């Protein structure tokens, strides 16, 4: 950790006085320390108070970095001590459908006074293979809302993958691993491989050591012997065989077990798919040895016990999955303890030739979630003024490491055309997709938002 991040009380007080607890002022760097990337090229607008404890500041790139137009950095700072505000994630109408962030936030509460103050798009996701139900999506790593898992975490050699646990309104970024077990009436147990996706087809990453990569674009892993759980907010009918015609495992007819809200088996039958999860209940689908295990252990009126575990691999502890816990996952931590992690790649999905006619620039818009040196949650987006534009991962991290923002821990969320910021009912980021010849905002898997909550302490 550098000297800059070992802040004494005196230096912190001085910094707070200079910045007035916002990003509205650009403090001069300490003697001998170079100006930050933000100070060199960007100008802040006046902070806008969205609600007590929630401030929105827009930074405009006034000296474009090899671009014909400057970009826009938007920062939402959340202070739970200044008002009754919290931070949560939300899936929208159901867990299988993509929706715009605006639509997701509108569904948080029917009460206008409890509408979120601001929100951004959340974790990475994939759409299921062509030919499946419209808009059916799959999360690409650990996801949870109110303590209910909607996707398993990545295996990554048993080390888990990066995500943010949002508990009592504060995000904690760490390596996460999920573990799920199914117990039969005989007392025997077996691993549940995943949640809310077709058995035999895991998107983006392996869920355990038995998964084998079968596709690179998009990345897909397969296991012919799986059990997958479906939650009652899945929304669509559970997938039938043949979800992915290129993946033999998904064509397995399999076996299906339907549970009520008490874990009691209401139906157990050959084949799978085409039914909806009963309210409060769950559905188990098995293929290969997973199907055989279900077939020989469950009949109507039996009881199944499902256990879920969320493991913080950094501190080697379990995080209880209760109603206070949400999980949003991605794959890259941009800042850790105020430093750019050495392992952060300089990745980019889309590039174009810059204004100099020679050098390539990255046009991936960016979304991030983090905490500042006050321990307050922060939401960030980087886009073009009227188009998708952003930066390479490491360059984005360097921008966020600017002292003016005071960020300490930051997780890179889904970016590119998914990047969206909504304040109130207004979308602040440009649309990126085209439908019927009209530019529209992309539909995404989930959102992270700040809204009315009871976890914060009111200001004295």
pLDDT digits (tens, 9 = 90+) for 284-296: 999 999 999 999 9
Q: Is-contact 101 422, C-beta < 8 A?
A: yes
Burial 277-312 (b: 16+ CB within 10 A, else e): beeebbbbbbbbebbebbbebbeeebebeeebebbb
Q: What is the spatial distance between Cα 149 and Cα 285, in angstroms, rounded to a whole number?
A: 16
The number of angstroms, rounded, from the C-alpha of 375 to the middle of its chain's C-alpha atoms is 20
The whole-number average pLDDT for the span 351-357 is 96
CB-based burial of residue 187 (10 Å sphere; 0-12 exposed, 13-18 middle, 19+ buried)?
exposed
pLDDT above 70 (res 370): yes
pLDDT above 70 (res 454): no
Half-sphere exposure of 121 (CA within 13 A, CB side): 29
pTM here is: 0.90
Reported confidence tier of residue 391, pLDDT bands at 50, 70, 90: very high
Reported confidence tier of residue 14, pLDDT bands at 50, 70, 90: very low
CB-based burial of residue 29 (10 Å sphere; 0-12 exposed, 13-18 middle, 19+ buried)?
middle
Kindly give the pairing relationship between strand 305-312 and strand 143-145: unpaired
DSSP secondary structure code for residue 410 in this structure: E
């Amino acid at each position: 950790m550098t000297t800059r991040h070992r802040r004494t009380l005196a230096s912190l007080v001085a910094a707070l006085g200079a910045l007035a607890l916002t990003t509205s002022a650009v403090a001069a760097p300490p003697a001998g320390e170079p100006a930050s990337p933000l100070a060199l090229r960007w100008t802040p607008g006046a902070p806008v108070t969205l609600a007590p404890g929630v401030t929105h500041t827009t930074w405009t790139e006034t000296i474009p970095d090899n671009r014909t137009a400057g970009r826009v950095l938007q920062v939402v700072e959340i202070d739970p001590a200044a008002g009754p505000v919290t931070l949560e994630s939300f899936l929208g109408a159901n867990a299988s459908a993509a929706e715009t962030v605006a639509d997701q936030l509108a569904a948080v509460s029917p009460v206008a006074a409890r509408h979120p103050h601001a929100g951004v798009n959340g974790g990475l996701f994939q759409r299921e293979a062509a030919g499946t139900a419209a808009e059916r999506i799959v999360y690409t790593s650990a996801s949870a809302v109110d303590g209910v898992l909607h996707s398993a975490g990545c295996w990554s050699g048993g080390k888990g993958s990066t995500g943010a646990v949002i508990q009592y309104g504060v995000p904690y970024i760490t390596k996460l691993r999920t573990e799920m077990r199914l117990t039969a009436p005989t007392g025997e147990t077996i691993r549940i491989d995943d949640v809310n996706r077709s058995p035999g087809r895991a998107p983006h990453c392996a869920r355990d050591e038995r998964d084998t990569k079968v596709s690179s674009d998009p990345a897909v892993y397969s296991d012919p012997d799986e059990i997958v759980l479906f939650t009652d907010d899945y929304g669509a009918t559970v997938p039938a065989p043949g979800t992915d015609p290129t993946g033999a495992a998904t064509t397995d007819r399999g076996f299906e077990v339907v549970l009520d809200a008490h874990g009691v088996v209401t139906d157990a039958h050959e084949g799978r798919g085409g039914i909806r999860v009963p309210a409060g209940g769950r559905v188990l689908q098995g293929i290969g040895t997973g199907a055989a295990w279900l077939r020989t252990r469950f009949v109507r009126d039996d009881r199944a016990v499902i256990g879920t575990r969320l493991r913080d691999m950094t501190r080697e502890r379990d995080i209880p999955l209760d109603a206070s816990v949400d999980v949003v996952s991605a794959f890259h931590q941009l800042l850790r303890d105020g430093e750019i992690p050495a392992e952060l790649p300089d990745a980019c999905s889309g590039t174009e030739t810059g204004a100099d006619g020679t050098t390539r620039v990255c046009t991936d818009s960016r979304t991030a979630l983090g905490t500042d040196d006050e321990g307050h949650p922060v939401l960030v987006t980087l886009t073009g003024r009227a188009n998708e534009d952003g930066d390479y991962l490491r360059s984005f991290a360097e921008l966020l490491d600017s002292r003016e923002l005071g960020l300490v821990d930051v997780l890179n969320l889904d970016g590119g055309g998914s990047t969206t910021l909504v304040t109130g009912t207004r979308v602040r980021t440009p649309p990126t997709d085209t439908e019927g010849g009209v530019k529209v905002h992309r539909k995404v898997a989930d959102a992270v938002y700040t809204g009315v909550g009871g976890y914060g302490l009111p200001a004295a």
